């Protein structure tokens, strides 16, 4: 599987394009439809949304209109998704928002604004809260250290690199 990251919009949201066996999935089309569209050649099979903040869904309507592919997000998910040759486990990670979902494929977690390199997503926005974030962090700490985290902004990281920081954050939530 090939993973491309396109930084889009004023908040430089990470829009991920996964390519496997000639099929593509977009995760979080945050903005700039034309910029994203140049990576797609009628091989798009689905769009996945981690949460509904505007900086993660800005190009969604234009992509849906052009490609007519299914969109998966919090309100229509199962525990596992099989889309073309992609097999995802979905992980509900509330805290930043109540509707935040991570998509796990192999050891790659596309987590939206749940975990960033050296920090976590804000919990002071509407539907966010510390109690949910604490539970989400406790859950993710059960995963192996080789988990690669693809955040909604900034650089990728690993659970190994974030483990101590996350354990420390738990003390303050």
Position 76 scores a pLDDT of 87
Indicate the burial class of 121 (C-beta count within 10 angstroms; 0-12, 13-18, 19 or more): buried
Whether residue 120 contacts residue 166, with contact meaning beta carbons closer than 8 Å, is answered with yes
Under 8 Å CB-to-CB from 88, ≥6 apart: which residues? Answer: 48, 80, 81, 82, 103, 104, 105
Phi then psi for residue 124, to 5 deg, are -95, 10
Position 82 scores a pLDDT of 97
Position 46 scores a pLDDT of 98
Position 169 scores a pLDDT of 97
Tell me the average confidence (pLDDT) per consecutive run of 10 residues in the chain, 173 residues long.
Answer: 98 98 97 97 96 98 97 93 97 98 98 98 97 98 98 98 98 94
Q: Give the whole-angstrom CA distance, residue 7 versus residue 25.
A: 16
Residue 150 CA neighbour count, 13 Å, CB half: 24
CATH fold for domain 2-170: Metallo-beta-lactamase; Chain A (3.60.15)
Q: How is 113-156 classified by DSSP, letter by letter?
A: TSEETTEE--SSSTT--HHHHHHHHHHHTTS-TT-EEEESBS--
Q: Give the whole-angstrom CA distance, residue 8 versus residue 27.
A: 12
Domain boundaries, the chain: 2-170
């Amino acid at each position: 599987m090939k993973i491309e990251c396109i930084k889009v919009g004023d908040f430089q949201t990470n829009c991920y394009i996964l390519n496997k066996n000639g099929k593509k999935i977009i995760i979080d089309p945050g903005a700039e439809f034309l910029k994203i569209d140049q990576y797609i050649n009628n091989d798009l099979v689905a769009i996945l949304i981690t949460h509904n903040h505007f900086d993660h869904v800005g190009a969604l309507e234009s992509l849906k209109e052009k490609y007519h592919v299914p969109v998966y997000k919090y309100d229509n998910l199962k525990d596992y998704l099989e889309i073309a040759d992609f097999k995802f486990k979905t992980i509900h990670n509330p805290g930043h928002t109540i509707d935040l979902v991570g998509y796990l494929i192999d050891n790659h977690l596309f987590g939206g604004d749940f975990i960033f390199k050296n920090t976590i997503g804000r919990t002071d926005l509407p539907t966010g809260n510390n109690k949910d974030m604490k539970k989400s962090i406790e859950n993710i700490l059960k995963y192996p250290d080789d988990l690669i985290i693809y955040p909604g902004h900034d650089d990728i990281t690993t659970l190994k690199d974030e483990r101590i920081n996350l354990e420390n954050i738990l003390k303050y939530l």
